[in-house]
Amino acid sequence: MEGFAAVDFEFARQVLQRGVAALFVIAFVSTLNQFRPLLGERGLVPAPELLEWVHTSKRGRRMLRPTLFRYLRYTDRRLVALCWTGIVVAAALVAGIPQLGPPWVPMLCFLALWIGYMSITSIGQTFYGFGWEMLLLEAGFLAAFLGSGDQPPPVVVIVLFWWLVFRLEFGAGMIKIRGGREWRDLTALTYHHETQPMPGPLSRQAHLLPRWFHQGEVLGNHFAQLVVPWFLFAPLFGLFVPGPVPAIVGAVAAAIVIATQVWLVVTGNFAWLNWMTIVLAFSAIGLPGIGAAHGAAASVPPGVIDGIPLYWLVVTSGVGVLYLVISWWPLQNLFARRQLMNASFNRWQLANAYGAFGTVTKQRIEIVVEGTMDEDPDAATWHEYAFKGKPGEVHRIPRQFAPYHLRLDWLMWFLPLGRSLDDWFAAFLVRLLEADAATLRLLARDPFAGERPRWVRAVSYRYRFTTRAEFRTGRARWTRDRRRTVMGPVSLRR
């Protein structure tokens, strides 16, 4: 680092800009495929109804976060146009095209993504209530100020990325150490691989590893989240301490964060949470020699300081001052007795609080949705609807979907954890009774091939991974036992 210029962090900037943009592409594609059947004009929880309430309620106007649809009437066609615009802009950033211009060009592109995706999450209700939504928004905002390829990245923005990774990792660590006892007695990961929301292809193999390995996983997690994040700031000492040691310490800390996140990618399906953390962790990896040419001519042209135009230093310094002010609340939250998880302290979802899995469920309860064409539900033969990601048929290998986000499958995991079934689930059953084509496309298999079933119901099962001996006997990945009918049978009136 040299003054205002993070001259050794050109590679970090490339990873940050292109990586964040790539995840925006995935987020907009996910929205394009899923928003309309979930939240569109005929969705399970229609966004137009929310917006209508906002227009007629003072409380609603205060609660609604910024969205273009507050001023522009929502239609499914406009939602599609917004998604395609976001995909095109984000893809251009992945290709590095806006970065070829002055720094305000990629800035406008990233801010457009930020506002565009916030317009979606603000009306996404429960289907967009995940922590990685606000993480993507905050990362997109910060990426807007990384600048262009003809100048070094500003130190203040690189440091703000470290602060984001710190809040993300240290916040998650504090949530865990204050949460369920399983994180303190080192048993959390004895259960987690089996009971996590959406297991991946290797989750069963991870679950079957020895207990001592799971205990080591927990210890490694605590180290990576509670100790390592402090060392991400080590490169700052390079401003005062000669030699490569500060940069090496920061790079090692980043490498540990990346390694732990890769393990989570391999063993689970957490949408783009782990992928984003990997991208963000690269902000602490400085590679001397890459971008050094920027610093060679520092302060030679008029209006340029340390290779950065004066106006851009003013803009990025303003962002730094903004974050200095709004970071007070998340900083307090990190050390608060009642720590908030995945919370925003302002309407623009900047300087948020993050965290996940303060407690780990000990058994996996799945809601299985079934239908029948028979007239008498008591004597009927029932057929199961298959979801794309959530466990169902016991012989099926769980698939890898992350960083793509299957919103319906994720919310199905939350259903058994609540005291009652959510309203959207009743609407979902109605759509199945109607054989609604858009809803059925969210599933892996419709047992009735587009025909309307006479009855549908929801049944709870306890699932667990098979042991190696059980797998050799029946080649099943799961074993399940039926618990009870939680809804239905229900049918449409005729």
- Beta strands per DSSP E along 160-306: 304-305
- Burial readout 5-37 (b: 16 or more C-beta within 10 A, e: otherwise): bbbbbbebbbbbbbbbbbbbbbbbbbbbbbbbb
pLDDT at residue 235, rounded to an integer: 94
Pairing of strands 455-465, 364-372: antiparallel
Distance in angstroms (rounded) separating the CA atoms of residues 8 and 15? 13
For 363, the token pair is 């058994």
pLDDT at residue 296, rounded to an integer: 45
Distance in angstroms (rounded) separating the CA atoms of residues 234 and 50? 46
Peptide bond just before 103 cis, omega within 30 deg: no
Distance in angstroms (rounded) separating the CA atoms of residues 127 and 11? 35
Residue 79: CB atoms within 10 A of its CB come to 22
Burial of 321 (0-12, 13-18, 19+ CB in 10 A): exposed
Q: Say if residues 68 and 119 touch (Cβ distance below 8 Å).
A: yes
Assign 444 to helix, strand or coil: strand
Distance in angstroms (rounded) separating the CA atoms of residues 485 and 365? 12
The pLDDT profile of the chain, 494 residues, written as one tens digit per residue, is: 678 999 999 999 999 999 999 999 999 999 999 999 999 999 999 999 999 999 888 888 888 999 999 999 999 999 999 999 999 999 999 999 999 999 999 999 999 999 999 999 999 999 999 999 999 999 999 999 999 998 999 999 999 999 999 999 999 999 999 999 999 999 999 999 999 999 999 999 999 999 999 999 999 999 999 999 999 999 999 888 888 999 999 999 999 999 999 999 999 999 999 999 999 999 999 987 765 455 444 445 778 888 899 999 999 999 999 999 999 999 999 999 899 999 999 999 999 999 988 999 999 999 999 999 999 999 999 999 999 999 999 999 999 999 999 999 999 999 999 867 789 999 999 999 999 999 999 999 999 999 999 999 999 999 999 999 999 999 999 999 999 999 989 999 76
Please give the single-letter amino acid code of residue 195.
T
Distance in angstroms (rounded) separating the CA atoms of residues 303 and 308? 8
Assign 276 to helix, strand or coil: helix
Distance in angstroms (rounded) separating the CA atoms of residues 428 and 127? 13
Distance in angstroms (rounded) separating the CA atoms of residues 128 and 22? 19
Please give the single-letter amino acid code of residue 484.
R
Assign 486 to helix, strand or coil: strand
Q: Say if residues 269 and 389 touch (Cβ distance below 8 Å).
A: yes
Name the H helices within 379-436: 407-414, 423-433
Q: Say if residues 304 and 310 touch (Cβ distance below 8 Å).
A: yes
Residue 467: DSSP 8-state: P
Residue whose token pair is 């020895």: 210
Residue 248: CB atoms within 10 A of its CB come to 14
Task: Write phi, then psi, for 363 (nearest 5 degrees).
Answer: -140, 155
pLDDT at residue 58, rounded to an integer: 83
How many angstroms separate the Cα of 82 from the Cα of each of 34, 78, 115, 131, 344? 14, 6, 11, 22, 24
Specify the pTM: 0.96
Please give the single-letter amino acid code of residue 261.
Q
pLDDT at residue 494, rounded to an integer: 62
Distance in angstroms (rounded) separating the CA atoms of residues 268 and 400? 8
Residue 5: DSSP 8-state: B
